Amino acid sequence: MLTKKQRDLLNFIHTRVQRDGVPPSFDEMKEALDLRSKSGIHRLITALEERGFIRRLAHRARALEILKLPDAMQANAGFSPRVIDGDKPASTPGNAIPITPGTVELPLMGRIAAGVPIEAISEVAHNVHVPQSMIGKGNHYALEVKGDSMIEAGINDGDVVVIRETSVANNGDIVVALVDGHEATLKRFRRNGAAIALEAANPAYETRVYRDDQVKVQGRLVGLIRTY
């Protein structure tokens, strides 16, 4: 049995992973559950891990994987884990979730900066296979992440992000943004009137604010592929 707080946190993590492809930060969890400190979140996460609902991914800051949901939540949520481990070691955990034959091939367009913007990428480097369940309607592509500015959103240097092509975004979405027509970056999107803020998920990086005519959304994050 889960307590209400444990169930609320599990549901919040699941909802955010389904929406963004990555877990929320500890600050976002604390705010969502109206807790005063991160220590409360740590205790809840430990309890969920001990009960087999989640696991923390080794050596990855803030990276969580949902292993199962309570029956009632699973029936309502259409549960499907969204953080996919890449090249697994020869000995894999018994509860590891394999990548099934239902995959699609996406173009890997090169690298995207999770730090200061770098030049926009338009040429296909090669293709990658991703689970069919990660892909919805519309066109998609993949990018390799360079930098650590999104680490508290569970996105690390070397990860591959799956992007759905779109030119619109809601506040809080993690997007590929084209700045001044030639620099691309992966950041959280915030609009305030005629200004657009591109927020990092790492306190070492400052939020950058632009005029709305300086920023074009190129896509929204829908999945994450992690290799070890």
Catalytic residues: 149, 187
Element (H, E) at 17: helix 4-20
Alpha carbon distance 83, 12 (integer Å): 15
pTM above 0.85, yes or no: no
Using CB atoms within 10 Å of the CB of residue 49, give its burial: 0 to 12 exposed, 13 to 18 middle, 19+ buried: middle
Is the CATH number 3.50.50.60 carried by domain 4-83? no
What local confidence, expressed as pLDDT, does residue 160 receive?
Answer: 87
Tens of pLDDT along the chain (228 residues)? Answer: 788 888 889 888 888 877 777 778 888 888 888 888 878 888 888 888 888 888 876 545 556 778 888 765 554 544 433 443 433 333 334 433 343 446 778 877 777 877 665 555 656 667 877 777 777 788 888 888 888 889 888 888 888 888 889 999 999 999 999 998 888 899 999 999 999 999 999 988 899 999 999 999 989 998 888 765
Measured CA angle at 58 (ends 53, 60), to 5 deg:
100
What residue ranges do the domains of the chain occupy? Answer: 4-83, 103-226
What local confidence, expressed as pLDDT, does residue 115 receive?
Answer: 66
What local confidence, expressed as pLDDT, does residue 227 receive?
Answer: 62
Is the CATH number 2.60.40.10 carried by domain 103-226? no
Tell me how long the chain is: 228
